[in-house]
Amino acid sequence: MNTTPSPRIAIIGAGPGGLTCARILQQHGVTATVHDRDTGPDARDQGGTLDLRQDDGQLALREAGLIDEFFRLSRPEGQEMRKLDTAGTLLFRHTPADGDRFKPEIDRGLLRGLLLDSLLPGTVHWGHTLRAVAGPADGPRQLHFADGTTAEADLVIGADGAWSTVRRALSPATPQYTGISFTEAWFDDVENRHPDIAALVGQGTTAASDGDRALFAQRSGGDHIRVYAIQRVPADWLAAHGLTTQDTDGIRARLLGQYRDWSPRMHRLITDNDGRYVDRPIHALPVPHTWEHNPTVTLLGDAAHLMPPLGVGVNLAMLDACELALAVVGGNTVADAVRTYEKSMLPRSGDMQRALDHATDGLLSTDLPPEFATDASR
């Protein structure tokens, strides 16, 4: 920034987008404070694996000065992709070439740790659940937290995900259910405890579908696999059948009934899991999601453009974070920086939202997903 004194920047959310933004700002000598509702970096499971692509996620990590460390931690073999039929027969396989770094996989926890370790001590304020953004549109803004504390900022960046509190200061939009739910199952120590499943899934991603339902499996680091049973069901399907997330046996029986025409080999992907299932109804923001320019508040990632989980979310969040941080560094004022950032981010995210609108239906299709065909020809 060219202004003096330096603006007070508050980033809400210590996910990949928020942390990337803070890191790039710090690389350019701009201070930012990150507030997160978690009590600490290890308060909850960070999820499975994700790919970071050359033209967005990796671009942001290069700007953050972390690309070499990313390549050290990532799993290029995780780019393997398989398509099976409901009997478990292999229909398609793409194995990445040696040295292929187009979109290597990395566990979400490792990525978050990489970003956290790169920040100055004290950057992240844990246990800060945001309740409201107050104050005049031209600032300063007041942040009100659930513990009764407050903070003042000249720029508030909402990196607080699907159910963003910051979004309320800009837009009345709320995520809507897409009609598709994922039921997540975890498998641990797979080479020893689940060798048949490990062989079926391979080193990367494996998918199978029958037109009405699908199974999507991903290998993570540390010898783990996560499987997602994907169905078109009401958002409250568990309660409608008298089930809760604690009723592992009941959910297992229900899933077996839904996948009864699939082979016993494929059934093991939804019955041999270690521990409970996780219910994940898939939501998305209206298409496109936009708002009137506000000089002191903006959004990035899922807070700005929540879409179905089809491999773009974290990559777009990190690209957003990179562009916003650079706009702040190069802008004359906070308002100029926000306007510059949104001028490119909103059209880009709108185009992607339109491209992925109703794309969850493709997860259930028996056709090869477009990305399989793309990878096969690359």
pLDDT in tens, 99-139: 888 899 999 999 999 999 999 999 999 999 999 999 999 99
Q: Are 46 and 221 in contact (CB under 8 A)?
A: no
pLDDT, tens digit (0-9, with 9 covering 90-100), for 240-266: 999 999 999 999 999 999 999 999 999
- List the strands of the sheet with 141-145, edge to edge: 130-134, 141-145, 150-153
Contacts of 294 (CB under 8 A, 6+ apart): 137, 169, 170, 338
Q: Structure pTM? A: 0.93
Closest by alpha carbon to 274, among 226, 316, 310? Answer: 226
Q: Are 145 and 35 in contact (CB under 8 A)?
A: yes
What CATH number should be reported for the domain whose range is 9-76+105-174+285-358? 3.50.50.60
Percent of the chain with pLDDT over 90: 85
Distance CA 319, CA 317 (A): 5
Given the candidates 3.40.630.40, 3.30.200.20, 3.30.9.60, 3.40.50.10800, the CATH classification of the domain at 178-283 is: 3.30.9.60
Secondary structure tally for the chain: helices H, strands E: 13, 17
H or E segment and range at residue 118: helix 108-118
Residue spans of the domains in the chain: they are 9-76+105-174+285-358, 178-283
| Average confidence (pLDDT) over 221-247 | 95
User: How large is the angle between the packed helices 16-27 and 108-118, nearest 10 degrees?
Assistant: 30
Contacts of 145 (CB under 8 A, 6+ apart): 35, 128, 129, 130, 131, 151
| Average confidence (pLDDT) over 351-378 | 68
